Amino acid sequence: MMDIKEILKLADELVSAKTGEHLDYLQEAILRGTLQGRKYSDIAEEMHASEGYVRDVGSKLWKILSEVFGEEITKRNFRAILEKDKVYNFSYHGHVYNQKHIGINNLNICSQTPQSPQVAQQPQQTPTQPHIDLGDAPEIFSFYDRTTELTTLENWIVRDRTRLIALLGISGIGKTTLALQLIKQIKNNFDYVIYRSLRFSPTLEQTLTNLQQIFSPKSEPIQNIETQLSQLLNNLRQHRCLIVLDDVQMLFSAGQLAGQYRSGYENYHLFFQLITEISHPSSLILNSWEKPREFVQFHQENNQMRCLVIEGLRDAAKEIFKNHELLDENCWQTLIDTYQGNPLWLQFTANLIKELFLGSVSDFLQCGTVILSEPLQAQLDQQFQRLTQQEIAVMKQLAKETEPVYLPQILKVMQLSASDLLNAIQSLRWRLLLGAKEENKTAFFTLNTVLKQYVKNRYFN
Ligand SMILES: Nc1ncnc2c1ncn2[C@@H]1O[C@H](COP(=O)(O)OP(=O)(O)OP(=O)(O)O)[C@@H](O)[C@H]1O
Ligand SMILES: [Mg+2]
């Protein structure tokens, strides 16, 4: 007996032979639902789409299939027609189609899909190949660990269909690398997979135009932002898309508290909000140094919106040292702890050790203080440029502390009003620059060794 998956594959081949286009995500869901005897309203609910919309897509689909089969096909008779034509009951033993002749009103499938037996024996792929456009995404040469993060993200996106996800973390921690690895792993669940960096701060109009070009390359650019938005949302409804927008911090103001949109960029807020509110099967991932506004007030149980803070690599970071041919393996853990497992910071430091200490980690550690190589320092300059004066004052105070401190302690020694201090601390938390821990129901704040050293180098020398 041919199962549903095989019928869908067959339908996809027939439709694409006729129209030149594969079945999209929703069309496939409608066929599957019909074969399972389900109503439009059920299918719509499962697809997070409105019933009217599913009906529209369905009726167009039956028209196409009617032309393919040469007789009128509707949701009611689809199954019966397949059974009549012995396709549904066709005994299928995992052989390629072209070894059996399936005739449906003289349509000869073998001529549509010449396949070799080897291909057919491979595990079933999704019927449609995703359209992948990664733009100027960097190439990944090596990838270590991140198993937990990848599993979490796959569950949120593929299983739960979370619409908006933020990957947050300090520069160099591995957000871009993780997002690209995730794409490799889950791309076959999507019709479209897109990566775009916002590093040059494009306006929302520019971003939407850029995305629209991917969905319909020949279309004329539209000026009206409302139309652009509704077109994109339409595409997100019709196709299952995975879109990664990287470097989202470039939409936020420097010199203001974290996550405040630059002037002229406020409409991104509306865009991100619409992505969570409107029903569609697609997902948008935002990579950022700063927590976007949208994520400040939300509950983790909200399925439409989730946030993952990326921490440093642990043991896997040793692979970086192996690559750099560093020596003294027994000291490697100290290096990982000092540089917070941040792969970029570790790469910079490994380069320095290789060049100046001929790879000897123990000689390097004998220097006593935490050494920040010039590129590492420059990397942190970029992040510190974004802080407010109050935030810098808090960082300077924390750099002087040897132990984690709690709020009343900081307030006592600083010349800031309580509200300015609290806002600055909260903003530094949203920038992932401040460590926090809880002891006896009190929150304590601290700077990690690298940030502490950076503040000392920059402000105390
Ligand atoms: N899991 C990993 N395995 C191996 N290398 C990694 C991993 N994660 C990050 N790296 C390396 O660390 C460096 C920084 O990673 P990446 O560019 O992804 O960081 P990022 O968080 O996107 O930084 P930024 O916010 O500045 O864009 C890159 O050279 C990358 O190759
Ligand atoms: Mg990046």
| Cβ of residue 344 lying under 6 Å from some atom of ligand 1 | yes
| Residues contacting residue 159 through CB under 8 Å, at least 6 positions apart | none
Q: List Cβ<8 Å contacts ≥24 apart for 399-405.
A: 399/447, 399/451, 399/452, 399/455, 399/456, 399/459, 399/460, 401/446, 403/446, 404/435, 404/437, 404/444, 404/445, 404/446, 405/444, 405/445, 405/446
CA distance 376 to 459: 16
Q: Which two tokens stand for residue 237?
A: 């409804």
The pLDDT value recorded for residue 222 is: 80
| Cβ of residue 446 lying under 6 Å from some atom of ligand 1 | no
**Which ligand 1 atom lies nearest to the CA of residue 289?**
25
CA distance 303 to 165: 10
Residue in this structure with the two tokens 């911090």, named with its chain if needed:
249
CA distance 389 to 392: 5
- Domains in the chain with CATH codes: 4-121 (no CATH), 131-309 (3.40.50.300), 315-371 (no CATH), 384-459 (1.10.10.10)
- Identify the DSSP state of 191: S
**Which protein residue's CA is at the shortest distance from atom 4 of ligand 1?**
143
The pLDDT value recorded for residue 332 is: 96
**Which protein residue's CA is at the shortest distance from atom 16 of ligand 1?**
174
The pTM score is: 0.75
Q: Beta strand pairing status for 305-309 and 164-168?
A: parallel
Query: Cα of 317 to ligand 1 centre, how many Å?
Result: 11
Instruction: Provide the terminal-to-terminal Cα distance of the chain, rounded to the nearest Å.
Output: 78
The pLDDT value recorded for residue 252 is: 97
Q: Beta strand pairing status for 283-288 and 164-168?
A: parallel
The pLDDT value recorded for residue 100 is: 32
**Which ligand 1 atom lies nearest to the CA of residue 146?**
1
Query: Cα of 327 to ligand 1 centre, how many Å?
Result: 23
| Residues contacting residue 120 through CB under 8 Å, at least 6 positions apart | 94, 95, 96
The answer to whether the CB of 348 falls within 8 A of the CB of 376 is yes
For 286, the enclosing helix (H) or strand (E) is strand 283-288
Residue 68: closest CA among 16, 113, 29: 16
CA distance 327 to 353: 10
Q: Which two tokens stand for residue 88?
A: 């549904």
Q: Would you tell me the crossing angle of helices 225-238 and 267-277 to the nearest 10 degrees?
A: 30
The answer to whether the CB of 27 falls within 8 A of the CB of 61 is yes
The answer to whether the CB of 390 falls within 8 A of the CB of 426 is no
Q: Is the dihedral of CA 261, 264, 268, 271 positive or negative?
A: positive
Pocket test of ligand 1: the residue of 176, 323, 345 to mutate, having most ligand atoms within 8 Å of its CB, is 176
Rounded mean pLDDT of the chain?
86
| Cβ of residue 192 lying under 6 Å from some atom of ligand 1 | no
Query: Cα of 452 to ligand 1 centre, how many Å?
Result: 22
- Ligand nearest the Cα atom of residue 169: 1
pLDDT 10s digits, 143-152: 999 999 999 9
The pLDDT value recorded for residue 298 is: 65
pLDDT (tens place) for every residue of the chain, 461 residues total: 567 777 777 788 877 777 777 787 788 888 888 888 888 888 888 777 778 888 888 888 888 888 877 788 888 888 777 766 545 443 333 333 333 333 333 333 332 333 333 333 333 344 468 999 999 999 998 999 999 999 999 999 999 999 999 999 999 999 999 999 999 999 999 999 999 999 999 999 999 999 999 998 888 888 789 999 999 999 999 999 999 999 999 999 999 999 999 999 999 999 999 999 999 999 999 999 999 988 887 665 567 899 999 999 999 999 999 999 999 999 999 999 999 999 999 999 999 999 999 999 999 999 988 999 999 999 999 999 999 999 999 999 999 999 999 998 999 999 899 999 999 999 999 999 999 999 989 999 999 999 999 999 999 87
**Which protein residue's CA is at the shortest distance from atom 13 of ligand 1?**
344
The pLDDT value recorded for residue 366 is: 92
419 phi/psi in degrees, rounded to 5:
-70, -40
